Each structure stands twice: as C-alpha cells, then as structure tokens.
C-alpha cells in the first residue's frame, strides 16, 4: 500500500479547522455547534464542529481543487479508477448522474429488470428506452438473481446499437456473476457498461475472499454506497469513472445539478475515512472477520425455522441469507428478532438477510442465546398454505421494452384502478416493496395477473411498499390509454 493511503486529508483539514479559534458568521445556523438546544447537544456536539461550509481551505465539492480533490484522488488510486467523485446522496444520486451523463434521449439501454428504483428513475429522467433483461429465478434459493449470461449475450448481440448495459453487481443478497465476460462482449459492441455496485464497496479489498470489483473488471462507470458495506455515514457514496469514453464535463454538470449546493462535510469526511479504512485493513482483521463469520453461521445453523442459503464461490461472504420455512409466521419472526434487539437488513416474505460489517459486532455466544430464545418462542403452524401462491415467479421471462415510452406516458392521463381491473393495463406508477426498493411493477409496464397475485400476497404479509400513499393497498395508478391531455 502506498504511504499516502494512510492519510485522510479532508478529515484532517476539518479537524484542524474545528480546533482553530474561529467565529462563525456563516451557515450552518448551529455555528459549529455553538447554537444548539442543550438537551440534544450531547450526541451531536462533536459532529457539529466539523459540519461546516465551503470556507477558505475547505474546498468545494462542485469545483474541487484542494482537500476534497486530494481525498477524491486518494479514493481513485485505491479503487483503481480514472477519477472518483464523492457523493452525499447515496448511490441513488450516483445512479441518476451515471445514466444522465452517459445516455442521450431516445437511446436504447439494456437493463436488468430487477434493478433498484434509482436506475429506473435515471432512465425515465434521461428519456431513454429501456430494454429489460429478465432475471433468473433460482428455485433453490427461491429468489431472483441476475439475468443469465446467455440472456445478457443474446441481448448484447440483438441490440448492438444500444448505448449502455446497466447491471447490478452484486445484488442485495450478495450474488454476483461473470461480469468480466459481459464487459468484454459489451465493449466489443461499443456498448458502455454501467454498474450499480451499491453493495460492493468492500470488493476493493485485494486479499479477502470477495468477488472482484466492477472497476477492476473494466466497467466504464461504477457507483458504490460507501455507507452500506464500509464504515461511512449514511448517504456517503462513490462514483468511479474509468473510461475515457465518458464525458467528464457532463458528469460534473449532472452531479452539481443533482447534489445539494451545501454538501455535508461530515458525510464527505466519512468517505475519506472509509477509503482509509479499506486501505489499512489488515490480514489480522481479515482472519478475525472470517473466524467470526463462521461462528455466526454455526449459530444460525442450529434452528429448524429456516435454512441457510448456500453460497457459491462468486457470492459475497458478508451476506447471510436465511430462507424461512413455510410453517413460520414471518411477522412473528420479525418481532422476535426485534425483541432480542437483532435487526436484520431485510425481511421479505421468504427471506431474512443479515449483513456483516468488516469486523465482529456481537459475541457469538450471546447471539446463540438470543437465537435459542427465538426458536423456543416461535409458533410453528401449517396454515400458511392459505396465503402461499403456487408459483413464485412474477417478472416477464422475455427480453422486453416498456409497453409505452416515457414521452407518450406524459401525454396520456392516468387514473386509479382496483387491482383486478388493472390487469392488462399499463402502470402509471412503480410498485416497490421496500426494502429492497426493486419495483415489482415498473412505470410503463403492462400489469400481469401473476404480478398482481404476488402483490396481494405481499400486502397480506404486511410487507412495506413505496410509494406509501394509502391507496396502494387497494388501487394502482394506471395509464388511461383512451385519453390524452
């Protein structure tokens, strides 16, 4: 590791500034913590000292030339990109900017259908035409994963004039695929490879057994949430560019348009620190992490309420996914976890997903006791068959464009419909179980009966949906194909 990677220029500058005797006649209104309701200041006071604005010497995220540039350059060196941006609005803003800066209105883009909503929002804002690649349904894992390599190849050959292929690598559950092969074919056809690697910031660690990072495999633009898998503040993210085919001016333009003109310095500093953390991650830490993961896995293996999802060699070892048995009431399981103060990342109708950090967070023997108590209190039943549907798949199996373009959708009016009557109509809104934020119905897609059945099942199971208006459970907003503006 280069010695420079031990430095944290942005963080150091902020600390230096916080320690200097300065009087704030500038924003933010808490004046470096000097004005803050006393009852609340205990937790906030340290962080308020570095919650500053673009003062002399503190650089400007939207025109970096000082410490922010230095910190971004160090990140770029670490992640192996051509250049790297710090983001203060998560991978969400990274995905939007990535699409807006690389695609032109009307371009065709190939996109894996089970992508995060921010990818679909980027596509809509950019006015491009998505061609959806159906994901595979892994019957053993009982979940959708990536599109098959065969489907990706077929689409890349059939749509060789497409501008870009948009891929999620890894997915929420840590599944990956042979991205290198896809990149090779896409580049052969002059198609850009844009990767949402929100869950893969730690893939940059060279010596731990994680899948290779999308940057190292040659993707053109890669977005990572630093806050998901590395120690950074929520909303901290990176956008890496590593291709001269990307117009840097456009990327700068969209990032300054989409991000706040008052970006949070604590978030920016945490990006500097997350990169430092990765660059200084030791062999010793790696050993204790993997020993810990093994012990945690053993604890979870002792229950008959679930089975542990098997991991392939290409899957992220920091994700632990349980497939809950059908005779377990998932809502009861959720409250038992909460009762034991165990908070998984995600509970769907079938799965519970736990995410490891890069260091241990609980003594495995304590965890074991909690899990034993959960097992004892769980009521196993066999009446869940009433809400099980006898099929699991709900995405189209074909490579498909949207039923209607975004431009046409804007011209047509929309109306509320009950779910039964919505079958066969075009959705004027996305229906998104959250987490994970992957739309079950995308805006502009024709609504299928099978998807409606799945949605009803999820409502019965009290799965949270976005948007959270009170109509969602009963009605869906559909395009009125008979009426224009």
Ligand X SMILES: Cc1ncc(COP(=O)(O)O)c(C=O)c1O
Record the tokens describing residue 2, joined without a space. Answer: 């280069």
Min dist CB 466 to ligand X, Å, is: 12
Between 132 and 172, name the residue whose CB sits nearer to ligand X: 172
Min dist CB 152 to ligand X, Å, is: 17
SS (H, E, C) 48-115: HHCCCCCCCCCCCCCCCCCHHHHHHHHHHHHHCCCEEEEECCHHHHHHHHHHHHHCCCCCEEEEECCC
Interaction of residue 196 with ligand X, rule CB under 6 A? yes
Q: Identify the residue among 9, 33, 64, 90 touching ligand X (CB under 6 A).
A: 90
Between 80 and 436, name the residue whose CB sits nearer to ligand X: 436
**Taking contact as CB under 6 A, which single stretch among the options 22-30, 85-93, 123-131, 412-420 is the one that binds ligand X?**
85-93
The conformation of residue 425, written as its DSSP 8-state character, comes to S
Min dist CB 188 to ligand X, Å, is: 26
Interaction of residue 76 with ligand X, rule CB under 6 A? no
Min dist CB 121 to ligand X, Å, is: 10
Record the tokens describing residue 320, joined without a space. Answer: 């632990």
Between 267 and 324, name the residue whose CB sits nearer to ligand X: 267
Chain positions 91 to 120 lying near ligand X, rule: CB under 6 A, are: 91-92, 95, 116, 118
Min dist CB 431 to ligand X, Å, is: 17
Q: Identify the residue among 237, 267, 328, 479 touching ligand X (CB under 6 A).
A: 237
Cβ distance 76 to 2 under 8 Å? no
Interaction of residue 436 with ligand X, rule CB under 6 A? yes
CA distance 5 to 279: 6
**Taking contact as CB under 6 A, which single stretch among the options 84-92, 122-130, 266-274, 422-430 is the one that binds ligand X?**
84-92
Min dist CB 409 to ligand X, Å, is: 23
Cα pseudo-dihedral 393, 173, 201, 430, rounded to 10: 40
Chain positions 150 to 169 lying near ligand X, rule: CB under 6 A, are: 168
CB atoms within 10 A of CB 426: 22
Q: End-to-end distance of the chain based on CA atoms, in angstroms?
A: 60
DSSP secondary structure letters along 140-157: TTTEE-PPPHHHHHHHHH
Q: Identify the residue among 293, 360, 437, 448 touching ligand X (CB under 6 A).
A: 437
Q: Identify the residue among 10, 52, 61, 198 touching ligand X (CB under 6 A).
A: 198
Record the tokens describing residue 132, joined without a space. Answer: 């959806």
Q: How far is CA 222 from CA 79, 124, 467, in A?
A: 10, 19, 27
Residue whose Cβ sits closest to ligand X: 90
Min dist CB 89 to ligand X, Å, is: 7
- C-alpha triplet 218, 220, 222: angle, nearest 5°: 95
Q: Identify the residue among 216, 225, 264, 303 touching ligand X (CB under 6 A).
A: 225
**Taking contact as CB under 6 A, which single stretch among the options 3-11, 88-96, 124-132, 157-165 is the one that binds ligand X?**
88-96
Three-state secondary structure call for residue 285 = helix
Record the tokens describing residue 194, joined without a space. Answer: 């844009």
Record the tokens describing residue 314, joined without a space. Answer: 């290409």
Min dist CB 237 to ligand X, Å, is: 5
Total residues interacting with ligand X, rule: CB under 6 A = 14
Between 72 and 225, name the residue whose CB sits nearer to ligand X: 225
- C-alpha triplet 427, 428, 434: angle, nearest 5°: 80
- Interface residues toward ligand X, by CB under 6 A: 90-92, 95, 116, 118, 168, 172, 196, 198, 225, 237, 436-437
């Amino acid at each position: 590791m280069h010695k420079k990677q031990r430095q944290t220029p942005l963080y150091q500058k902020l600390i230096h500034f916080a320690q200097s005797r300065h009087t704030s006649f500038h924003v933010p209104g808490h004046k470096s913590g000097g004005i803050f309701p006393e009852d609340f200041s205990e937790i906030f006071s340290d962080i308020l000292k570095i919650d500053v604005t673009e003062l002399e010497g503190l650089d400007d995220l939207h025109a970096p030339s000082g410490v922010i540039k230095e910190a971004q350059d160090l990140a770029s060196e670490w992640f192996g990109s051509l250049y790297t941006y710090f983001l203060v609005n998560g991978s969400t803003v990274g995905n939007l900017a990535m699409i807006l800066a690389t695609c032109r209105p009307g371009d065709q883009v190939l996109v894996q259908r089970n992508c995060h909503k921010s990818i679909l929002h980027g596509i809509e804002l950019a006015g491009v035409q998505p061609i959806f690649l159906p994901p595979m349904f892994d019957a053993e894992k009982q979940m959708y994963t990536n599109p098959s390599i065969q489907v990706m190849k077929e689409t890349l050959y059939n749509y060789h004039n497409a501008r870009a292929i948009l891929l999620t690598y890894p997915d929420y559950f840590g599944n990956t695929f042979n991205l290198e092969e896809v990149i090779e074919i896409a580049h052969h056809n002059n198609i850009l490879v844009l990767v949402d690697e929100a869950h893969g910031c730690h893939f940059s660690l060279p010596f731990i057994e994680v899948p290779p990072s999308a940057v190292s495999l040659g993707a053109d633009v890669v977005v990572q949430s630093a806050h998901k898998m590395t120690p950074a503040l929520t909303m901290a993210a990176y956008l890496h560019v590593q291709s001269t085919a990307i117009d840097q001016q456009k990327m700068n333009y969209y990032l300054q348009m989409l991000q706040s003109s008052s970006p949070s310095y604590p978030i920016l500093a945490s990006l500097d620190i997350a990169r430092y953390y990765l660059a200084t991650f030791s062999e010793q830490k790696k050993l204790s992490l993997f020993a810990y993961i093994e012990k945690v896995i053993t604890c979870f293996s002792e229950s008959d309420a679930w089975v542990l999802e098997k991991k392939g060699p290409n899957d992220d070892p920091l994700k632990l996914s349980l497939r809950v048995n059908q005779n377990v009431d998932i809502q009861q399981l959720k409250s038992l976890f909460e009762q034991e103060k165990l908070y998984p990342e995600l509970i769907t109708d079938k799965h519970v997903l736990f995410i490891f950090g890069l260091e241990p967070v609980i003594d495995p023997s304590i965890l074991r006791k909690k899990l034993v108590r959960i097992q004892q209190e769980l009521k196993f039943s066999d009446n869940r068959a009433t809400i099980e549907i006898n099929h699991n798949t709900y995405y189209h199996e074909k490579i498909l464009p949207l039923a209607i373009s975004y431009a046409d959708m804007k011209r047509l009016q929309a109306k509320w419909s009950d779910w039964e009557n919505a079958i066969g109509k075009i959705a004027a809104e996305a229906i998104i179980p959250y987490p994970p934020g992957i739309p079950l119905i995308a805006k502009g897609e024709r609504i299928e009966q099978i998807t409606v059945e799945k949605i009803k099942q999820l409502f019965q199971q009290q799965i949270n949906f976005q948007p959270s208006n009170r109509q969602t459970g009963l009605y869906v907003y559909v395009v009125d194909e008979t009426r224009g503006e």
